[in-house]
Structure 1
Amino acid sequence: MSALDLGAATWRTSTRSGANGNCVEVAQLTSAVALRDSKDPSGPALVFTPWKWMAFIEGTKDGEFDRG
């Protein structure tokens, strides 16, 4: 698998992110979704297939990751 060039990616932060800087940024790529720590934009990024990303979003909406 080849590495993706994230240099030209358009990153966005959630509108629900607070002003404390504890945020993640997401970039929608042609064939993937990338996620990075907003405090370390030149650091590593996690890359997901669109299907895995949608599964994560749906799990979040359904409360799958809520603490009990």
Structure 2
Amino acid sequence: MAESMISQPLTGWGKPDLDLTEADWQSSSRGAGDVQIAFVEGFIAMRNSERPESPSLIFTPDEWRAFVLGARGGDFDLT
């Protein structure tokens, strides 16, 4: 793959065009799932670890807090 395709964030929607080439990507402590996050310039980036060249989602701290609280509260549970 072309180097320019690696870890490109989704742009628009009022989010900055962050340079994620040097991001410190972190996986779940359990090693389960395929999501990684990185804290970059006051924002939170999320990507699919199995396809790191695919676009990353960018969250503001408030958006990330709402996402985490929703996940903890079961908002994304299948049952």
- Deviation of the 1:11 alpha carbon: 0.2
Distance 1:67 1:37 in 2: 20
Q: Which runs of 4+ in 1 moved over 3 A?
A: none
TM-score w.r.t. the length of structure 1 is: 0.81
Q: Matched residues, percent identical?
A: 38
The alignment yields a C-alpha RMSD, in angstroms, of: 1.5
- The answer to whether the Cα contact below 8 Å between 2:45 and 2:59 also exists between their aligned partners in 1 is yes
Residue ranges of structure 1 left out of the alignment (5+ in a row): none
Distance 1:60 1:16 in 2: 16
For 1:28, what is the secondary structure of its paired residue? strand
Residue ranges of structure 2 left out of the alignment (5+ in a row): 1-13
How many residue pairs align between the two structures? 65
Distance 1:66 1:42 in 2: 27
Identify which of structures 1 and 2 has the higher relative contact order when contacts are C-alpha pairs closer than 8 Å and 6+ apart.
2
TM-score w.r.t. the length of structure 2 is: 0.72
